[in-house]
A and B are shown apart, each in its own frame.
Chain A
Amino acid sequence: MLAEEPLPPDLLAIAREVLLKDLLPALPPDKAFAARMVANAMAIAARSSEEGDAEARLAALASDARSLATDIRAGRFDPGTPQHGEAAALLDDITRARCLVSAPRALG
């Protein structure tokens, strides 16, 4: 069964617009911060995450994220080691995908 449109991201976008354009100007100043936080939360929720091929690439380096973390701590992916570039690229890609949802502006 296909989901009824408008889909959740569109609903959140229009609801956010109402919040910022109609409600926020009418709120007392001490409630503005809370309203902006709600708008921010809705923006994050509206951006969906794409897994990509991170799982497969992680599997080539370590059994899971925890062992990747342990191996990094032990120096197994230091500059000069064979898999340094692969590990750096995987962390970049995973983090970029996480930023696209949580903090797109951080990507510059």
Chain B
Amino acid sequence: MDEPRRARLTAWLRAATGEPKLEIERMALLSGGAIQQNWAVDLSDGRAWVLRTDNAATLAVSHGRAQEFALLRAAFAAGVTVPEPLYLCEDATVTGAPFFVMRRVAGTAAAHRVVKSDTLGGSREACVRALGRELARIHTVRPPREDLAFLGTAPDDPCRAFIAEQRAALDRQRLPRPVLEWGLRHLERTAPAPVTAVLVHNDFRTGNIMLDESGVTAVLDWEFACWSDPHADLGWLCAKCWRFGNDAQEAGGIGPRAALYEGYGAVDDARVRWWELAAHIRWASIAVDQAERHISGVERNLELALTGHMVPGLEWEILRMVEARDAG
């Protein structure tokens, strides 16, 4: 961040905090997602914050910074382990894009390190039990909520709403995807009964959860949150495509499924399995969209290009899951 921006940021933070002597000692770009930039902000008095702002490659389906700030506040109030949200700036003229500031939390989120570690999060079992408790807290947030009005009206039947959204997404894509249609049709044929929608994080997976040796330090990346079936989050976390190669540990490649369920409380396993297939379809569709950003020239990028080549592997898994579920 260049000097003029940093000066404007300092002035803005002084006004927001009411502290005229506030000084930024250091700013450094942290490793962040493809969608946002996260900056470490160290104040001269020792306070450690993170400034979160938009990157060039913003997906249309993700929430903006103001919405993410509201979600963090709702989660923080519900007792979810999130970095405490502090100040929101919707004025893009300060740093070039809207941003918010939250307390900085220590820990590791990097998925490939997390799935290899037996000690992060306490132990594998303790970690997934804690993740179950975090999800249960998230799911205590129920519609309607004025502060979360941007999430829209909660669907009466979250499973069928998911199928409709995914079909609409496929209809927007350049090429037909018969295997994703095959999976969606199976989901339609086997959809469980309607359930009351709650706040669903919608990207609760290894890589988006920060851990240290004592436990969960932060649930990150709230930009896809929606009103849906709470089992959607359990299915996304358990889906084989999000185990980062450590398939034997069914809860996110971290720990046993049973411990996750214990931590969560009442779980309908059949619903979770339905959402695991749904997770593969949704991730495949997102991967297609990411590759399309490269192919169309909107953003020429090797990582996006390679993401497209993950789609056949996801489709193979979808076919195997449908086959096993139809046989069972």
The answer to whether A44 touches B309, judged by C-beta atoms less than 8 angstroms apart, is yes
**Contact code string B291-327 (vs A, CB < 8 Å = 1, else 0):** 0000000000011011001111111110100010010
Give Cα distance in the complex from A81 to B322, angstroms.
Answer: 16
Q: Identify which of A75, A96, A103 gathers the most chain B CB atoms within 10 Å of its CB.
A: A103
The one of B167, B170, B303, B316 that contacts A95, using a Cβ cutoff of 8 Å: B316
The one of B167, B313, B315 that contacts A73, using a Cβ cutoff of 8 Å: B167
From known contacts A40-B306, A106-B317, infer whether A95 and B312 are also in contact, taking CB-CB under 8 Å. yes
**Contact code string A18-41 (vs B, CB < 8 Å = 1, else 0):** 000000000000000010011011
Give Cα distance in the complex from A77 to B303, angstroms.
Answer: 36
The answer to whether B178 touches A91, judged by C-beta atoms less than 8 angstroms apart, is yes
The answer to whether B302 touches A102, judged by C-beta atoms less than 8 angstroms apart, is no
B312 closest partner in A (C-beta): A98
From known contacts A91-B178, A95-B319, infer whether A78 and B313 are also in contact, taking CB-CB under 8 Å. no
Give Cα distance in the complex from A66 to B178, angstroms.
Answer: 8
Q: What are the residues of chain A within 8 A of B323 when measuring CB–CB? A: 88
**Contact code string B158-191 (vs A, CB < 8 Å = 1, else 0):** 0000000001001000011111011011000100
B180 closest partner in A (C-beta): A69
The one of B181, B309, B315, B317 that contacts A69, using a Cβ cutoff of 8 Å: B181
Give Cα distance in the complex from A44 to B306, angstroms.
Answer: 9
A65 to chain B, nearest CB (A): 5
Give Cα distance in the complex from A66 to B176, angstroms.
Answer: 5
Contact residues of A between 67 and 81, Cβ < 8 Å to B: 68-70, 72-73, 75, 77-79
Count how many pairs of residues, one from A and one from B, have CB atoms less than 8 Å apart in the complex. Answer: 79
The one of A66, A75, A91, A99 that contacts B313, using a Cβ cutoff of 8 Å: A99
Residues of B in contact, count (CB < 8 Å): 28
Give Cα distance in the complex from A107 to B316, angstroms.
Answer: 7
Give Cα distance in the complex from A69 to B180, angstroms.
Answer: 9
The one of B302, B312, B319 that contacts A41, using a Cβ cutoff of 8 Å: B302
From known contacts A72-B182, A78-B185, A78-B189, infer whether A98 and B315 are also in contact, taking CB-CB under 8 Å. yes
The answer to whether B178 touches A102, judged by C-beta atoms less than 8 angstroms apart, is no
A95 to chain B, nearest CB (A): 5
**Contact code string A80-99 (vs B, CB < 8 Å = 1, else 0):** 00000001100110111011
Q: What are the residues of chain B within 8 A of A73 when measuring CB–CB? A: 167, 181, 184-185
The answer to whether B179 touches A41, judged by C-beta atoms less than 8 angstroms apart, is no
Q: What are the residues of chain A within 8 A of B326 when measuring CB–CB? A: 79
Q: What are the residues of chain A within 8 A of B189 when measuring CB–CB? A: 75, 78
Q: Identify which of B167, B178, B182 gathers the most chain A CB atoms within 10 Å of its CB.
A: B178
The answer to whether A106 touches B312, judged by C-beta atoms less than 8 angstroms apart, is yes
The answer to whether A69 touches B178, judged by C-beta atoms less than 8 angstroms apart, is yes
Give Cα distance in the complex from A34 to B314, angstroms.
Answer: 23
From known contacts A37-B302, A66-B176, A88-B323, infer whether A103 and B313 are also in contact, taking CB-CB under 8 Å. yes
From known contacts A38-B302, A73-B185, A106-B317, infer whether A65 and B310 are also in contact, taking CB-CB under 8 Å. no
Q: What are the residues of chain A within 8 A of B316 when measuring CB–CB? A: 95-96, 99, 103, 106-107
The answer to whether A41 touches B306, judged by C-beta atoms less than 8 angstroms apart, is yes
Give Cα distance in the complex from A98 to B310, angstroms.
Answer: 10
B6 to chain A, nearest CB (A): 23
A41 to chain B, nearest CB (A): 6
Q: For the complex of A and B, list the 5 residue pairs with the smallest distance between their C-beta atoms, beginning with the closest.
A: A106-B313, A103-B313, A98-B312, A69-B176, A102-B309
Chain B residues near A (Cβ < 8 Å): 167, 170, 175-179, 181-182, 184-185, 189, 302-303, 305-306, 309-317, 319, 323, 326
User: What are 5 of the A-B contact pairs (CB < 8 Å)?
Assistant: A41-B305, A70-B176, A72-B182, A88-B319, A102-B310
A91-B179, A101-B309 known; 18 new pairs, CB 8 Å cut-off, are A38-B302, A41-B302, A72-B182, A73-B184, A78-B189, A79-B326, A87-B182, A88-B182, A88-B323, A91-B178, A94-B179, A98-B315, A102-B311, A102-B312, A103-B309, A103-B313, A106-B312, A106-B316
